């Protein structure tokens, strides 16, 4: 096995919103894929959500029943991470945004993954240099960042750290392209990468406007949609991505910058602490219970 060993088996770690759809994208594109989580329950949830999503695609003639059946043949669900990773060519980690946990995960992956395997993180804010040093293969570690919902959004950001090898970048890029994604490749790492930094600038201003009671979240969202042509306004988007994710991303950025401006906005903290995570919990900026 060498660094040019073809990618046949992909492991996606973490069966949350991102991980489950990333795994589906890989399986739909023809890769044998295993979605791994530490518990059965999130795997069962992911399976049910993906089943509903793919059945809807068949009902709407976006995919054939044969394609979907073949995808299920390629997509496995497992809790035994070490056994799965031992036969994998490429890992995409989509676990919680917590540096200590990611470092632990990467150290364990490094111990069991074949020498040629690339270990990528889907983290949107934790740059891979912070994680690569937990492994003995820093040259094969990078960020490969998908967007929510991963089945729909076309972009993948690929971000090297100083020690990522050009071969790793090439292989990661080729994989993303084979998944039908458009690649935005950064020259060097920065927390938030490109898209989230752009999004954050808009979000900051939206929060600033509600702080001053200039307009309601609904009207600000309307302005983003109907004046700027964005598919969703910043508050709707936070509800889609999850206020828990938004909150943890801010904390992860603060850990890296130590700048107060990185900390979560007080209203985001309040929603997070109240368990109002957005669509996934039925309530965030908006109420989905009656929807
Ligand atoms: N999962 C998979 N597919 C979905 C989906 C989901 N959660 N939501 C919608 N879709 C697909 C479905 O195919 C749906 O068609 P269907 O209802 O006939 O099955 C189709 O998209 C259209 O959906 P809707 O009619 O419900 O609504 P929209 O036309 O507004 O599309 C959207 C939904 C694609 C989510 C669109 O609103 C959008 O692009 N929003 C912006 C998303 C965005 O900015 N994402 C980036 C977030 S930042 C991020 O991810 C960074 C990370 O680090 C946190």
H runs (alpha helix) in 31-90? 40-59, 65-74, 81-85
Active site residue 124: yes
User: 90: CA distance to ligand 1 center in Å?
Assistant: 26
| Spatial contact of 25 and 176, defined as CB atoms under 8 Å apart | no
Would you tell me how many other CB atoms lie within 10 Å of the CB of residue 191?
20
Same-domain pairing of 114 and 237: no
Residue 231 Cβ inside 6 Å of ligand 1? The answer reads yes
Q: What is the pLDDT of residues 239-248, one digit of tens each?
A: 999 999 999 9
Same-domain pairing of 206 and 180: no
What pLDDT sits at residue 291? 63
Domain of 204, CATH number, reads 1.10.1040.50
What pLDDT sits at residue 1? 46
Q: What is the pLDDT of residues 160-213, one digit of tens each?
A: 999 999 999 999 999 999 999 999 999 999 989 999 999 999 999 999 999 999
Which residues span the domain enclosing 215?
195-280
Give the C-alpha separation, 49 to 60, whole Å.
Answer: 17
What pLDDT sits at residue 125? 86
What are the backbone angles phi and psi of residue 240, rounded to the nearest 5°?
-70, -50
Nearest ligand 1 atom to alpha carbon 242: 54
Nearest CA owner, ligand 1 atom 38: 231
Mean pLDDT score across all residues of the chain: 96
* Residue 2 predicted with pLDDT over 70: no
Looking at residues 2-8, what average pLDDT do you find?
Answer: 78
Q: Considering the domain boundaries, does residue 53 fall inside one?
A: yes
Q: What is the pLDDT of residues 122-150, one digit of tens each?
A: 998 899 999 999 999 999 999 999 999 99
Select from 128, 163, 185 the last residue of a domain: 185
Return contacts of 190-196, CB within 8 angstroms, 24+ apart. 190/127, 191/125, 191/126, 191/127, 191/252, 191/253, 191/256, 191/257, 192/124, 192/125, 192/253, 193/124, 193/143, 193/145, 193/157, 193/159, 194/157, 195/147, 195/155, 195/157, 196/124, 196/125, 196/249
Three-point CA angle 107, 110, 113, nearest 5°: 145
User: 237: CA distance to ligand 1 center in Å?
Assistant: 10
Task: Provide the whole-model pTM.
Answer: 0.94
Same-domain pairing of 122 and 257: no
Give the C-alpha separation, 145 to 291, whole Å.
Answer: 30
Same-domain pairing of 167 and 219: no
Nearest CA owner, ligand 1 atom 8: 149
Select from 165, 185, 205 the last residue of a domain: 185
Q: How confident is the model at residue 253 (pLDDT cuts 50, 70, 90)?
A: confident
Active site residue 161: no
Domain count of the fold of the chain: 2
Same-domain pairing of 120 and 166: yes
What pLDDT sits at residue 246? 94
* Residue 95 predicted with pLDDT over 90: yes
Q: Any idea which of 20-29, 87-96, 208-217, 249-258 has the lowest mean pLDDT?
A: 249-258
Residue 166 Cβ inside 6 Å of ligand 1? The answer reads no
* Residue 277 predicted with pLDDT over 90: yes
Looking at residues 14-33, what average pLDDT do you find?
Answer: 97
Please spell the DSSP secondary structure of 129-180, one letter per residue.
Answer: HHHHTTSS-GGGEEEEEE-SSTTT--EEEEE--TT--HHHHHHHHHHHHHTT
Which residues have a Cβ under 8 Å from the Cβ of 45 and sit 6 or more positions away?
Answer: 15
Q: How confident is the model at residue 97 (pLDDT cuts 50, 70, 90)?
A: confident
Q: What is the percent of the chain with per-residue pLDDT over 90, rounded to a whole number?
A: 92
Active site residue 145: yes
Same-domain pairing of 87 and 229: no
Domain of 37, CATH number, reads 3.40.50.720
* Residue 232 predicted with pLDDT over 80: yes
Residue 148 Cβ inside 6 Å of ligand 1? The answer reads yes
Same-domain pairing of 156 and 101: yes
Same-domain pairing of 170 and 26: yes
Strand order in the sheet with 75-78: 75-78, 32-36, 9-13, 90-93, 118-121, 141-146, 155-159, 182-185
């Amino acid at each position: 096995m060498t660094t040019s060993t073809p990618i046949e088996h992909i492991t996606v770690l973490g069966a949350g919103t991102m991980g489950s759809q990333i795994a589906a994208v890989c399986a739909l594109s023809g890769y044998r894929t295993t979605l791994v989580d530490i518990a059965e329950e999130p795997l069962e949830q992911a399976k049910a959500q993906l089943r509903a999503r793919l059945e809807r695609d068949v009902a709407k003639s976006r995919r054939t029943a044969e394609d979907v059946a073949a995808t299920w043949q390629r997509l496995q669900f497992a809790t035994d991470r070490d056994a799965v990773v031992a036969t994998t060519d490429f890992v995409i980690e989509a676990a919680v945004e917590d540096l200590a946990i990611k470092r632990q995960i990467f150290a364990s992956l490094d111990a069991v993954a074949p020498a040629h395997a690339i270990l990528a993180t889907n983290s949107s804010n934790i740059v891979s240099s912070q994680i690569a040093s937990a492994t003995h293969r820093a040259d094969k570690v990078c960020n490969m960042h998908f967007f929510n919902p991963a089945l729909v959004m076309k972009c993948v950001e690929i971000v090297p750290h100083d020690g990522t090898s050009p071969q790793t970048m090439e292989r990661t890029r080729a994989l993303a392209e084979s998944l039908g994604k458009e690649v935005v490749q950064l020259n060097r790492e920065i927390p938030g990468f490109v898209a989230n930094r752009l999004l954050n600038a808009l979000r900051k201003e939206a929060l600033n406007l509600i702080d001053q009671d200039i307009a309601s979240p609904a009207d600000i969202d309307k302005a983003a949609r109907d004046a700027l042509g964005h598919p969703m306004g910043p508050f709707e988007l936070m509800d889609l991505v999850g206020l828990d994710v938004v909150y943890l991303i801010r904390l992860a950025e603060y850990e890296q910058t130590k700048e107060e401006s990185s900390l979560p906005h007080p209203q985001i903290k309040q929603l997070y602490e109240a368990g109002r995570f957005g669509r996934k919990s039925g309530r965030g900026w908006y109420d989905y219970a009656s929807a």
